[in-house]
Amino acid sequence: MKAALHGLKVLDFTQMMTGPFATMMLGDCGADVIKVEQPEGDPFRRSGETTLNGDGAFFLGVNRNKRGIALDLKTEEGQAAARALAAEADVLVENFRPGFTERVGIGYEALRAINPRLVYCSISGFGRNGPDRNRPALDMIIQAISGVMQVTGTEESGPLKTGFPFSDLITALLAAIGILTALQARAKTGEGQRVDLSMLDASIFSQVPRDVYFDLTSKTPLRMGNQHWDIVPNNTYTTSDGRDIMIITINDKFWQVLCDALGAPEMKTDERFATKAARLANRDLVNETLSAIFATRDLVAWEEALSAAGAIYGAVRTWPEVFNDPHVVDNLLKTLPHPKGGHFKIINNPLSFSGTPTQILRSPPMLGEHNEEVLGRTGSAWPTTGA
């Protein structure tokens, strides 16, 4: 069965994390993605201390389902090859610094003139216009400038980055949505268009609904760690065996459920805890009381009690626990071979379609692996039947 984007031709001029993750998702859904690297290769190939046959773990994680070629865009030959590929492509994605594509002859206007149906997605750090357009942008820098770090951590810790590349990934997700939206518009009008997105704008957008809160109060949300400004309890508590468990009671009903699970029914009617307003007013006392109770039993015992009661909870699992979970092993992990030998595991696409399932058909390409296949053939580099 063919995937949903089978036959879609995607020219991927991106590097590092954001762009490659967006194009990888299109590839998972069946698009024929040609990854175009400069002769020195995507910097992610050499990023980090963990590699497999010379390719960095980060590169291997976001570049599956792509054919790979190397072009020197600083030469007339490389530019001509890029334009020839773009003339037949459905989508082009780039995350060069603003102005570079225009200088090498593959800017939006130049390519639109030869391929009016092209959907051209530009991803930048700070936007294509404005005083910061040429500043280098990495995930943690954008987290800092966008305000994400300002609300992450605790008052004691100060601002913290998230534990994963949040700004990279939220931008990639929005870019993929933008590309698919533009393709839907093209199906109606026959015309492509430019999709423009900055990491900064995407990261600020991700902070909804706190935008309305700030507008109405002019207050910056406090850094509260695992707690929530309007829900108590909403926190982690340590069990007798040193494990942590996340507990949330979104309303009085779930507070009562929690009290039953804890074997403390008297707290359901205690005036200090019985209502949401009371729990907010006595936040510290709630946390102290629950901390003392959870410290009396181990994690397994608490999970059994909380599950039986129907409480809202979740153990803070270690990575070995997550990646050895039977569901994860059976449904989310896939082993891919490296072209030079050896294997590595990747996380499968979580989207499940009943009629057009996602597929992982290609390992990440070696640098220039498909140059002869794509650039050396006579006729089109794009198979008429897709990837």
For residues 103-122, give the mean pLDDT: 98
Integer Cα distance of 258 and 245 in angstroms: 13
CB contact set of 123 (below 8 Å; sequence gap of 6+): 14, 18, 19, 22, 93, 94, 95, 171, 175, 197, 198, 199
Q: Two tokens at 162?
A: 């998230």
Is the pLDDT assigned to residue 16 strictly greater than 80?
yes
For residues 275-290, give the mean pLDDT: 98
Integer Cα distance of 381 and 373 in angstroms: 7
Integer Cα distance of 167 and 15 in angstroms: 15
Q: Two tokens at 331?
A: 């449904």
For residues 197-224, give the mean pLDDT: 92
In 192-266 the beta strands, taken as DSSP E runs, fall at 194-198, 234-238, 244-248
Integer Cα distance of 38 and 81 in angstroms: 13
Which has more confidence, 386 or 284? 284
Is the pLDDT assigned to residue 28 strictly greater than 80?
yes
* 285-316 per-position pLDDT tens digit: 999 999 999 999 999 999 999 999 999 999 99
Is the pLDDT assigned to residue 284 strictly greater than 50?
yes
Domains, the chain, ordered by start: 9-206+324-375 (3.40.50.10540), 244-315 (3.30.1540.10)
For residues 67-85, give the mean pLDDT: 97
Is the pLDDT assigned to residue 321 strictly greater than 50?
yes
Catalytic residue flag (residue 28): no
User: Of the residues 32, 139, 168, 330, which is catalytic?
Assistant: 168
Check residue 387 and give its pLDDT: 39
Which has more confidence, 174 or 214? 174
Check residue 384 and give its pLDDT: 66
Spell 28-53 as b/e; 16+ CB within 10 A means b.
Answer: bbbbbbbbbbbeebbebbeeeeeebe
**98 confidence band (pLDDT: 50, 70, 90):** very high
Is the pLDDT assigned to residue 56 strictly greater than 50?
yes
Check residue 377 and give its pLDDT: 62
For residues 161-179, give the mean pLDDT: 97
191: which strand partners?
none
Rounded to 5 degrees, what angle do the CA atoms 49, 175, 213 make?
100
- Which secondary structure element, helix H or strand E, spans residue 106, and what is its range? none
The answer to whether residues 226 and 246 touch, using CB atoms and an 8 Å cutoff, is yes
For residues 127-138, give the mean pLDDT: 89
Integer Cα distance of 126 and 135 in angstroms: 7
Check residue 386 and give its pLDDT: 43
Check residue 196 and give its pLDDT: 97
Which residue has 């909804």 as its token pair? 208
Check residue 65 and give its pLDDT: 98
* 327-382 per-position pLDDT tens digit: 999 999 999 999 999 999 999 999 999 999 999 999 999 999 999 999 986 567 88
Is the pLDDT assigned to residue 183 strictly greater than 80?
yes
Q: Which amino acid is at 194?
A: R
* 219-254 per-position pLDDT tens digit: 988 899 999 999 999 999 999 999 999 999 999 999
Check residue 343 and give its pLDDT: 96
**385 confidence band (pLDDT: 50, 70, 90):** low
The count of residues in the chain is 387
**211 confidence band (pLDDT: 50, 70, 90):** confident
Is the pLDDT assigned to residue 116 strictly greater than 60?
yes
For residues 38-47, give the mean pLDDT: 94
Integer Cα distance of 24 and 347 in angstroms: 12
